[in-house]
Chains A and B, each alone.
Chain A
Amino acid sequence: MKAEQKELLYNVFCDAMEKLAFMFSEPAERDVLSPIDNKYVSASMTFTGEMTGEISITVSEEMCIEIAANILGVNPDDEQAMNLGIDSFKEVLNVTCGQVLTAIAGEKALFNLSIPEVSELGASGWTEILNKTETIGFFVDEYPMLLFFSFNE
């Protein structure tokens, strides 16, 4: 991934997390993002249009609930946060995808976005995504997070 695209992804993602979930993100190097848990969730979606590709975000299950709690303005142990963790996580991906595509392709470009899909992963799944060249890492309020973005023009 080109350095300028990487920086753009960092900026767009950090802005989306701050505005949507009131959470602050900072870029992290791969070597500090080794798996520390065995329960992760990954949300992914595809896009077609001026570019075709895929975007995904991978976090721990705990982080999913934290995101929901922040978006809903409740405590992480609140039933609402527990129930809406996955939906909130999909929403973060959806917003990030829309913002990234506009930032890269411009405001006139039209895309068709798929519905976000979520899958559960173990530590090996996390490592597999971490090792992809199109993946960049973050710490979001001290939780590790992986953002994968791949496209063909």
Chain B
Amino acid sequence: MFSKTFKLVGIPVGELYQAANGKEALEILNENRVDLVFSDINMPVMGGVEMIEKMSDDGLLKTIPVVVVSTEGSTTRIEQLKSKGISAYIRKPFTPELVRKVVDDIVGGLDES
């Protein structure tokens, strides 16, 4: 879905890695250079919150911005995630334009690309 969203709003992506859960995502992050992470909360094996905590404990991974994309609308949950250092929170269902704005706010330079 993100691949389609990025294309729709013209977000240039060099390489898009996809993981089925937090554990797989951490493996990808440890083996590749990644500029931005989009993660759900509710995933099998390892959920998004645990993945973010493990990234925070890693000197290198904690520098990568994380955008949580979730169906949960609880402001309590969003505040918890922000306290863990996430860069943004997008609630599903989202519009491609919102994704573009969030990416631009974090990475910058989309309008010049």
Contact = CB atoms under 8 A, between A and B. Distances in A.
A and B co-occur in one complex: yes
Nearest to B20: A87
A102 B72 CA distance: 8
Interface residues of A, number: 21
Contacts of B93: 16, 19-20, 95
Contacts of B33: none
A72 B4 contact: yes
Contacts of B42: 94, 113, 115
Nearest to A98: B71
Interface in B25-83: 42-44, 70-77
B49 to A, nearest CB: 11
B57 to A, nearest CB: 23
Contacts of B16: none
Contacts, number: 49
Interface string A34-69: 000000000000000000000000000000000000
Interface residues of B, number: 17
A95 B72 contact: no
A111 B92 contact: no
A115 B47 CA distance: 10
A71 B75 CA distance: 27
B72 A108 contact: no
Interface string B87-99: 0000111010000
Interface of A: 16, 19-20, 71-73, 91, 94-95, 97-99, 101-102, 107-111, 113, 115
30 contacts: A16-B93, A19-B93, A20-B93, A72-B1, A72-B4, A91-B1, A91-B92, A94-B71, A94-B92, A95-B71, A95-B92, A95-B93, A97-B71, A98-B72, A98-B91, A98-B92, A99-B71, A102-B72, A102-B73, A107-B73, A107-B74, A107-B75, A108-B74, A108-B75, A108-B76, A109-B74, A110-B77, A111-B72, A113-B71, A115-B44
